[in-house]
Structure 1
Amino acid sequence: MTQTNILLGDHQCVVREAMHLLIEQRSDLHVVGEVGTGEAVLEAVVRHEPDLLIMEQALPGMPTIDVIRKTIETSSRTKVLMLSAQENRSAVEGALRSGAAGYVVKTACSKELMEAIDVVRDGRSYLSPSVAHHLVNAISHPGDSGSGGAASLTARERQVVQLIAEGLSSKEIAAHLGVSHKTVESHRASVMEKLDIHKASALVRYAIREGLVAL
């Protein structure tokens, strides 16, 4: 079988190294690079033109959906497999609509990750069972509260909500994302308007309830 070249994108070095070691145990898979930001992903895609990009959903820097779209635009051969701690409908739909071919939760075992790699590189789509369950449940119960509001947020707005819920100030969020303080305040205001929320404490509770932040 032809060897599949894989690029890894995760802000945690230990996660990248663990995946690297796992993947390299198979002779038909080869890791061509490891990166920790959205911008670095795009640079590596240009340099390596990998067959598969495995990236986390909350990479620092560029919004996830932009990284996915630009990856596919830059290298049509590259398929994207998302690795995420989020199982909510808005996160999954955002990734898939942007062009991701698969979505694996970070609670998955190594066997599932390997299965997802095989499925996606064969041109098919893969969803972790728990994610598939949430999607089916959401579609079966479209009137449930919460899904519409979260789905209206952009990828960058979800990042801001996640960081607010984790206790970061606007100044700290700006430094983390590499944007201005004014930009963060603009995102915060947009989020609160879309969700009709007026206090930071209420926003944190909403984020936890919707699965926008992991406990």
Structure 2
Amino acid sequence: MRFIVADDHDSMRLLTFELLKKTFGVSSDHVTLVGTAEQLIEAASQPENASALVVLDLVMPGTIKRLRLLKELKRRAPFAAVVVYTGYDSPHLAQELLYQGVAGYVQKSSPLARLMEAVGEAMEQRRFIDPALDTANNLKIEWWNLTTRESDVVVALCKGWSAAKICEHYAIRPKTLSAHKRAAMAKLDISEEAGLAAYIIENGLDYLLDE
């Protein structure tokens, strides 16, 4: 089995490789170490890595990160098993990543042994979710009561899109845009439009703003 270790810190890449070698007997010729999003995509595009196990840091130097990075990785290597190992603590993003098919999710604040546990489970085609991650309560926030279009509008506004751009992008009328915005703000109990961005950030939903 081949492995890709993707992390922008040299020490973390080397440490992860040493753990793979010690725990699973992985040799250096079966591991590719990368430190940027572009290097990861290039490595994943190689035929020998088509079904590799990828230990993935979600935020590295490059033009894409987090959810977009995972989607591009899976597009290039659809049979790869991905274990996300990240310092980005958002149960909402974790849930979305699991929905997208990652094999494991481990927070960097957890013991390193937990990362190897996740890798071992992925090698056996089983899923591993960090016990420290609170995915049970993340559905309780008001955000998940929004319709798809309401959430689209909120995200677009928080990205700084103009009303004209939003209407054109989603093929809706200005009156419909206003209705979606009012409905979303009512559900989120927000009285000022400026409060939308604060809500997104405070609730760990800022990954939705990634371009």
TM-score (norm 1): 0.64
1:81 to 43, 58, 83: 83
Helix, strand or coil for the counterpart of 1:189? coil
Offset at residue 92 of structure 1 (A): 0.6
Which aligned pairs between 1:43-192 and structure 2 lie closer than 5 A? 43-47=42-46, 48-49=48-49, 51-60=52-61, 61-131=63-133, 134-139=134-139, 142=140, 144-145=141-142, 152=151, 188-190=159-161
Q: Give the letter aligned to residue 102 of structure 1.
A: G
Determine if the alignment matches structure 1 residue 7 to structure 2 residue 1.
Answer: no
The worse-fitting range, judged by mean Cα deviation, of 114-123 and 48-57 is: 48-57
Does the C-alpha gap of structure 1 residues 88 and 22 become closer, same or farther in structure 2, counting only changes over 3 Å? same
Does the C-alpha gap of structure 1 residues 71 and 203 become closer, same or farther in structure 2, counting only changes over 3 Å? closer
Contact kept in structure 2, 1:86 and 1:212, CA below 8 Å: no
Does the C-alpha gap of structure 1 residues 29 and 77 become closer, same or farther in structure 2, counting only changes over 3 Å? farther
Helix, strand or coil for the counterpart of 2:160? helix
Contact kept in structure 1, 2:44 and 2:76, CA below 8 Å: yes
Helix, strand or coil for the counterpart of 2:137? helix
Percent identity over paired residues: 18
Alignment-derived partner of residue 35 in structure 1: 34
Contact kept in structure 1, 2:53 and 2:81, CA below 8 Å: yes
Q: How far apart are the structure 2 equivalents of 1:12 and 1:212?
A: 25
Helix, strand or coil for the counterpart of 2:31? strand
How many residue pairs match? The answer is 169
Contact kept in structure 2, 1:68 and 1:99, CA below 8 Å: no
Q: Give the letter aligned to residue 60 of structure 2.
A: L
Deviations 1:144-165 (A, max 9, x none): 345668x958xxx8xxxxxxxx
Contact kept in structure 1, 2:58 and 2:69, CA below 8 Å: no
Does the C-alpha gap of structure 1 residues 107 and 189 become closer, same or farther in structure 2, counting only changes over 3 Å? same
Aligned-residue Cα RMSD (Å) equals 3.2
Q: How far apart are the structure 2 equivalents of 1:84 and 1:148?
A: 27
Offset at residue 55 of structure 1 (A): 0.8
Does the C-alpha gap of structure 1 residues 188 and 52 become closer, same or farther in structure 2, counting only changes over 3 Å? same
- Uncovered stretches (5+) of structure 1, i.e. residues with no partner: 158-184
TM-score (norm 2): 0.65
Helix, strand or coil for the counterpart of 1:104? strand
Q: How far apart are the structure 2 equivalents of 1:89 and 1:147?
A: 13
Deviations 1:5-57 (A, max 9, x none): 21011122222122122222235334521112222111011234052001112
Q: How far apart are the structure 1 equivalents of 2:18 and 2:128?
A: 22
Does the C-alpha gap of structure 1 residues 66 and 203 become closer, same or farther in structure 2, counting only changes over 3 Å? closer
2:203 to 187, 193, 210: 210
Q: How far apart are the structure 1 equivalents of 2:79 and 2:200?
A: 38
Helix, strand or coil for the counterpart of 1:81? strand
Does the C-alpha gap of structure 1 residues 70 and 205 become closer, same or farther in structure 2, counting only changes over 3 Å? closer
Alignment-derived partner of residue 182 in structure 1: none
- Uncovered stretches (5+) of structure 2, i.e. residues with no partner: 162-180, 186-191, 207-211
